């Protein structure tokens, strides 16, 4: 039996719930939000889909105790009204840091001992706080982090080269925020280093890096939230846990060197983080990672 919990039913949490149910990924789905009416609305909207699906999912609303035997809990709480149109994901920090206390306490009381995947922003800071306050191991807790930003880089490079983004490999590293960066030394297009292709085709890598960084705000400025891409990332990570896929991807993972979570390659399996996938970076790229870690640490210290 595959049991998944979602805490926070805003645009992202609701999209994840819909996808889990319609794709038949969850046998049981626990949905929780501070707004009872919103939870009831999502519950019955999901229930009303079941007669037209080929699969069945048991929907369980507002019940932390039901998470005691959940395989995965996805945290997607937040206050979108606190985000300004300035590209700063730290706008939700105060609200979400307070929410962590309540969520973590309820998870501890429930006896949950599965894998926790955090989406709530600022992702690296909130993931760090959730790990500390739930008492779950650092392997059991990770965040979506730069998994989404890497997809945005793949989209930008794919558009520039008229390639399917799945043919682009490599990593965006660091904070899921303004100090993130594309580690171009890791990026390849169908196995060919992009640095060489950029020279041949006159690609502006600085511009492409900026497109990846600002991709979320392009969406946010038009509809005042994002949901599809981040929900897809959360679903893929959840499936990697459920199937013990040993998926190699960038995520918000704890690095001993910095003593907090940050976007970096890892391997995802049944118990969460199977291993941190250490990669070789250029001197400049390592300095960028150090700088991004410093910014996350400053926010944590606040």
Structural domain ending residue among the three candidates 86, 119, 143 = 143
Write the pLDDT tens digit of every residue in 259-288.
999 999 999 999 999 999 999 999 999 999
Residues 170 and 103 in one domain: no
Q: Residue range 128-145: average pLDDT? A: 98
Annotated binding site: 8-13, 33, 96, 119-121
- The pLDDT, as a whole number, for residue 67 is 98
Residues 71 and 186 in one domain: no
Residues 188 and 270 in one domain: yes
Residues 194 and 290 in one domain: yes
Annotated binding site for NAD(+): 8-13, 33, 96, 119-121
pLDDT-based confidence at 84, cuts 50/70/90? low
Lowest mean pLDDT among 4-18, 77-91, 217-231, 258-272: 77-91
- What φ, ψ does residue 10 adopt, rounded to 5°? -75, -160
CATH number for the domain spanning 172: value is: 3.90.110.10
- The pLDDT, as a whole number, for residue 291 is 98
What does the radius of gyration of the chain's CA atoms come to, in whole angstroms?
19
d(CA 262, CA 127): 9
Residues 241 and 292 in one domain: yes
The structure's pTM equals 0.96
Residues 54 and 132 in one domain: yes
Residues 29 and 163 in one domain: no
Nearest to 17 by CA among 74, 99, 78, 80: 74
- The pLDDT, as a whole number, for residue 239 is 98
270 CA to centre of own chain: 17
Provide the domain count of the chain: 2
Structural domain ending residue among the three candidates 143, 170, 192 = 143
Q: Residue range 41-48: average pLDDT? A: 98
Residues 115 and 65 in one domain: yes
Lowest mean pLDDT among 52-66, 87-101, 162-176, 275-289: 87-101
Structural domain ending residue among the three candidates 86, 116, 143 = 143
Residues that are catalytic = 176
Residues 113 and 158 in one domain: no
Residues 171 and 293 in one domain: yes
- Domain holding 126, by residue range, is 3-143
Write the pLDDT tens digit of every residue in 146-198.
999 999 999 999 999 999 999 999 999 999 999 999 999 999 999 999 999 98
CATH number for the domain spanning 113: value is: 3.40.50.720
**Does position 111 have pLDDT exceeding 60, yes or no?**
yes
């Amino acid at each position: 039996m595959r049991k998944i919990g979602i805490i926070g039913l805003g645009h992202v949490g609701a999209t994840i719930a819909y996808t889990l149910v319609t794709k038949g990924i969850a046998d049981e789905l626990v949905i929780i939000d501070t707004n009872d009416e919103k939870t009831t609305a999502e519950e019955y909207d999901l229930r009303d889909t079941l007669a037209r699906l080929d699969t069945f999912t048991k929907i369980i609303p507002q019940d932390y105790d039901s998470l005691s035997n959940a395989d995965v809990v996805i945290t997607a709480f937040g206050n979108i009204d606190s985000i300004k149109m300035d590209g700063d994901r730290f706008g939700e920090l105060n609200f979400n840091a307070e929410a962590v206390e309540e969520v973590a306490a309820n998870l501890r009381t429930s006896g949950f001992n599965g894998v926790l995947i955090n989406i709530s922003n600022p992702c690296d800071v909130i993931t760090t706080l959730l790990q500390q306050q739930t008492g779950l191991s650092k392997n059991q807790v990770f965040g979506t982090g730069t998994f989404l930003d890497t997809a945005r880089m793949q989209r930008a490079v794919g558009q520039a080269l008229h390639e399917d983004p799945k043919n682009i490999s490599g990593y965006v590293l660091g904070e899921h925020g303004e100090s993130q960066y594309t580690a171009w030394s890791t990026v390849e297009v169908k196995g060919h280093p992009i640095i060489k292709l950029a020279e041949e085709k006159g690609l502006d890598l600085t511009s492409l890096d900026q497109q990846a960084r600002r991709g979320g705000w392009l969406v946010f400025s038009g509809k005042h939230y994002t949901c599809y891409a981040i929900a897809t990332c959360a679903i893929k990570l959840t499936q990697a846990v459920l199937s013990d896929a040993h998926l190699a991807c960038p995520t918000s993972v704890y690095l001993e060197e910095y003593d907090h979570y940050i976007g970096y390659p890892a391997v995802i399996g049944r118990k969460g983080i199977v291993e941190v996938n250490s990669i070789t970076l250029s001197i400049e790229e390592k300095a960028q990672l150090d700088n991004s870690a410093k910014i996350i640490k400053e926010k944590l210290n606040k």
